Structure 1
């Protein structure tokens, strides 16, 4: 004889919009504080390896070249590179956090489905996931800044603004990719194509390792639409004290618009998928 199932009684509690987002963030924090070692390589060690390889190793060669002063504005290559690596690591972490983990929440672990069976809405779940991604990038960025300081890559207090710019850059990237991931039904080639044709070119050609004006002219318009380039310009300008008001406001506006558009898409697409 079949055993009847009994639904868990509802508490009747419906959190506010911000309260629902906070519940999702709390869930991820509870998981992370027990399993942070599993993500330490991608979120902390990988950016540090970039710093050691390019900033310390390759930077010694760049510093001895005759055109080094023109390329880096007269500062050591490590100091010039460090804030850009901060933004790059945030963008890369955002891309990884916003692909397979999102699909897993819908399809494999079905965490989002479980959340939606309670009083949380799809919009609260999506924005909560995005908020947690930003908090995680902030924590990793703080550790990264401390290590940069140890290696002598911090030129002044402007690195704090660079950290904020890096987190904003990561959130802009994460919002768009999370919205895309919410439409993916099977892993297939969707994420592979995303990393191959979007994330990797964005990493290499956004002014992180060399000035954009060293690129061919026909490539530069492509660079200008990259959120990482806008974040790098803000982060580097803040760290080196070379920023000017109008261009910085332009870069900031682009990142905020991308984040706003991505946030709206995340809320709508999470709602649509969880309601299906």
Structure 2
């Protein structure tokens, strides 16, 4: 009888092997795949914040500040934008990680089906991919924070503090995006979701201007959106002394609760849809 799965060979001879949790094995597989394209990851992680902050923060910001458009804010416009973009970039990365890679695993490459022939179960697959999201997004956010510091938009301490709420935002969006993707038969729905959901959220959830400047009805719509809560929570930590309209008067625990509920609901949905697709 083979005992290869229960014992290992070391300097002292055969001995018990510690089994890794299947979710950790999925994370390890993602890290191995990352080794092949880490150069592109570095380019995008540094290039995107540089482009956004140079165009929207410094370029447009100089016009806003000189024209008095930021007179109602407690901070310079580039600081306001940089603090919001931490959460907004995490949202985009979260949706992207839960969209096309999941579609590839389910339909194009079908490697998720191959995983089901191992001890990995759908819930382990989901947990492993979310763990990879934590690692991936943390690296992206650290790069963004460093770029923001180099631009003089954020102080080092507050910039690093903003990583945690932005990370929660990204993981919540990845969980929901995974459930949504597992419900689709083609990637057309992903393109439409990015065009009609992610981009409007990016533009109108308080990232580039306080939602107090929106009409009353649209303010209520913005407050109901998840990115608004991610942006506000991040901005409250990055700009601790700011007051309305730079940040809202809504307590931080409301934003945390919203994002945690979103993550839990996304986990439940994604686990159910992955199980239905992979065990069909």
CA contact (8 A) 1:127 1:267 kept: no
TM-score, normalising length from structure 2? 0.87
Using the alignment, how far apart are the partners of 2:83 and 2:135 within structure 1? 19
Question: What is residue 223 of structure 2 aligned with on the other side?
Answer: 224
- For structure 2, which runs of at least 5 residues remain unmatched after alignment? 8-17, 243-247
What does the per-residue CA deviation read over 1:202-255, in whole Å, with 9 as the maximum and x for residues that have no partner?
000010000000011111121112211101111111111137996101011000
CA distance in 1, matches of 2:149, 2:259: 27
Alpha-carbon separation, structure 2, partners of 1:222 and 1:43:
30
For residues 28-69 of structure 1, give each alpha carbon's deviation from its aligned partner in whole angstroms, at most 9, with x where no partner exists.
011102212234454442232111111111111111122412
Please point out which of 269, 273, 278 is paired with 1:274.
278
- 1:33 alignment partner in structure 2: 35
State the secondary structure of the residue aligned to 2:217: coil
Name the counterpart of 1:120: 120
Cα separation, 1, equivalents of 2:6 and 2:110: 23
> Following superposition, which runs of at least 4 residues in structure 1 exceed 3 angstroms of deviation?
9-13, 38-44, 242-246
User: Counterparts in 2 of 1:205-220, with a 5 A limit?
Assistant: 205-220=204-219
CA distance in 2, matches of 1:159, 1:69: 23
Alignment of 1:76-95 (within 5 A): 76-95=76-95
Residue 265 (structure 2) pairs with residue 261 (structure 1): yes
Q: Is the 8 A contact 1:134 1:167 kept in 2?
A: yes
Rounded to whole Å, the distance in 1 between the matches of 2:87 and 2:33 is 26
Matches within 5 A, 1:77-226: 77-155=77-155, 157-187=157-187, 189-226=188-225
Q: How well do the aligned residues superpose, as a CA RMSD in angstroms?
A: 2.2
Counterpart position of 2:54: 52
Distance 1:161 1:260 in 2: 23
Q: How far, CA to CA, are the matches of 1:177 and 1:242 in structure 2?
A: 34
2:155 & 2:42 partners in 1: Cα distance? 26
CA distance in 2, matches of 1:61, 1:162: 26
What residue in structure 2 maps to residue 251 of structure 1?
A: 255
Gapped regions of structure 1 (runs ≥ 5): 1-8
CA contact (8 A) 1:87 1:228 kept: yes
Structure 2 distance, partners of 1:203, 1:255, is 16
TM-score, normalised relative to structure 1: 0.88
CA separation in 2, counterparts of 1:93 and 1:45?
A: 14
Conserved in 1, the CA contact under 8 Å of 2:102 and 2:178? Answer: yes
Aligned to 1:234: 233
Change over 3 Å in CA distance of 1:216–1:245 after alignment to 2: closer
Q: How does 1:5-16 map to 2 (within 5 A)?
A: 11=5
